[in-house]
Structure 1
Amino acid sequence: MAEAEDRELEELRRKKLEELQKRAEAERQAQIAAAQRRAVLKRILTPEALARLDNIRVVRPDIVEALEQQLISLASSGRVKVPIDDETLKKILEAVYSQTRQEYRFRL
């Protein structure tokens, strides 16, 4: 009996350890991706635009990751002039905000 319980306990410990290792690896990968995204943003945004993006992160963290991906995509495809200054970022934000606002109205 004790051996069976010991095996079950050991199996539970092993599974928990695997789960923790997978979670730690996923968090590490997410941190690496965020650091890479931040490095690219520092290259394509002026300091003022980067500060505005950081302020948006505080107020609307739910949209910042998608916005960052969109900015990187716009810059890499050549659809906006690099570095993106604060005024250009404001225009992009207005376009994004008007789209989300229209979608919100449509849902009502």
Structure 2
Amino acid sequence: MDDLEAIRQKRLAELQQQQSSPQNDAQAAYQQEQAQAERDEQVKAVLRQVMTPEARERLTRLRLSRKELVEQLESQLVMLAQNGRLQTKIDDEKLKVLLTQMQPQKRQTSITRM
């Protein structure tokens, strides 16, 4: 009978742990969301300091179609700002230049007819 009771106690402990696990998962997910939101706010604050309103507006519009490119550019701008390598604000024209430099070069194909 002791073996049966030990198995029951072990199974009861496993079930209790499984029931508390979803709460821990939900809490961990909530904490991750909070941390991500905090990082996003920090990035926005840095971008407000280093970019003109027109450049930020262009970046916002571009995010709709080229999200990965915008995220890459934002991370580079934040890194440059944190290292103190940006002396002036990024205006719309400078942003256009940066975006063209970041886009992969397309191969020019030409068709010649004989």
Q: Same fold (TM over 0.5)?
A: yes
| 8 Å contact from structure 2 (residues 50, 89) kept in 1 | yes
1:32 pairs with 2:38: yes
| 8 Å contact from structure 1 (residues 75, 82) kept in 2 | no
The aligned residue for residue 65 of structure 1 is 71
* Aligned-pair CA distance for 1:75: 3.7
State, as a whole percentage, how many aligned pairs show the same letter.
34
Normalising to structure 1: TM-score of the pair? 0.78
The aligned residue for residue 97 of structure 2 is 91
* Aligned-pair CA distance for 1:5: 5.4
Gaps of 5+ in 2: 1-6, 108-114
The aligned residue for residue 51 of structure 1 is 57
Partner Cα distance (2:60, 2:40) in 1: 13
Gaps of 5+ in 1: none
Query: Aligned with 1:59: secondary structure?
Result: coil
- RMSD value over aligned CA atoms? 2.2
Normalising to structure 2: TM-score of the pair? 0.74
Normalized per residue, the structure richer in helix is 1
The aligned residue for residue 8 of structure 1 is 14
Q: Give the ranges of 4+ consecutive aligned residues of structure 1 lying more than 6 Å apart after TM superposition.
A: none
Q: Which amino acid aligns with 1:43?
A: Q
Question: What is the number of equivalent residue pairs in this alignment?
Answer: 101
